[in-house]
Structure 1
Amino acid sequence: MKTSLFQNIMRVLLGSMMTFAGIGHLTFQRGEFQAQVPRWLPNSPEFMDIIVLASGIMEISLGLCLIFWVSKKVKIGIFLAIFYVLIFPGNISQYTNGIDAFGLDTDQKRLIRLFFQPVLILWALWSTGALKYLLNKRKS
């Protein structure tokens, strides 16, 4: 699927952000990301650490794939959009349980953040050409 120069720039930017966030999961932001593990999952520190490490590895992988595996960008965009849907319960849990992390220290800030997840989903789909691919597939 052909994408514009602007889409490619935005894809690389998103990939860079994902890679940076994944590195944060593994290192300097591990505690912040543990705050986003849904409270309905087992609440042991070991389990939370496994979730954070696994999601960090996934974010690094998806980020690097977005940047470098251009021939598979549509599939990677779809996978990333699915990943964003799968981690959304963590954001909801942070809001509903009033958990402070990443400077989200009020219910209003945590609520506003929830509205950015659809933006990330659309960004992943649009910047990779996956949105156009899915819309064209639907018409067929």
Structure 2
Amino acid sequence: MEKEVQTTRVQNIFRILLAIFMIYAGVSHLTFNRMDFQAQVPDWVPLSKDLVVVLSGIVEIMLGLALLFWKKQRVNVGWALALFFVLVYPGNISQYLEGRDAFGALDSDRARLIRLFFQPILIAWALWSAGSWKAWKKTR
């Protein structure tokens, strides 16, 4: 797969916004939202909830930084970020099914259900803004 693709100014703005969001989310995993993120870790995960939150926070920071600065691998970083969003989605589903509150705003079944619909948007955002989707289409 091609390592670099041309992206538009709009894609770059959205890529930078997503990268900042990921870095912020990662830092919040490690600090002020640590307990709230533990509510998303399903009980069937065979690791401590705190360890999962810390590790996912570190991954989010790394992906955010890579999305910002690793230009030659930006396409692959977009795919990695999309995969990350897919892998954490079961936690969002579990939080909805188990009715676990978090972040002050996720305090009802309705709010937790609405949140589920944003994960596909994040996946598309990662693939589009990094040029991953465009690179994949070029190979077809």
With the length of structure 2 as denominator, give the TM-score of the two structures: 0.93
Aligned pair partner of 1:111 in 107, 110, 113: 113
Runs of 4+ in 1 over 3 A off after TM superposition: none
Partner of 1:97: 98
- Separation in structure 1 between the aligned mates of residue 109 and residue 137 of structure 2, nearest angstrom: 36
Partner of 1:70: 71
1:123 aligns with 2:136: no
Partner of 2:32: 28
Deviations 1:71-95 (A, max 9, x none): 2110000000000000000000000
- Consecutive unaligned residues of structure 2, counting only runs of 5 or more, are none
Amino acid of the residue matched to residue 129 of structure 2? S
Partner of 1:11: 15
- Separation in structure 2 between the aligned mates of residue 54 and residue 73 of structure 1, nearest angstrom: 22
Deviations 1:96-127 (A, max 9, x none): 00000121111111001000000000000000
Paired-residue identity, % = 56
Report the alpha carbon displacement of residue 69 of structure 1 after superposing the two structures with TM: 1.0
With the length of structure 1 as denominator, give the TM-score of the two structures: 0.93
Report the alpha carbon displacement of residue 61 of structure 1 after superposing the two structures with TM: 0.2
- Separation in structure 2 between the aligned mates of residue 110 and residue 135 of structure 1, nearest angstrom: 34
Deviations 1:58-77 (A, max 9, x none): 00000011111122110000
Report the alpha carbon displacement of residue 21 of structure 1 after superposing the two structures with TM: 0.3
Amino acid of the residue matched to residue 119 of structure 2? Q
Report the alpha carbon displacement of residue 41 of structure 1 after superposing the two structures with TM: 1.9
- Consecutive unaligned residues of structure 1, counting only runs of 5 or more, are none
Report the alpha carbon displacement of residue 38 of structure 1 after superposing the two structures with TM: 1.2
**Alignment: residue pair count:** 135
Report the alpha carbon displacement of residue 136 of structure 1 after superposing the two structures with TM: 2.4
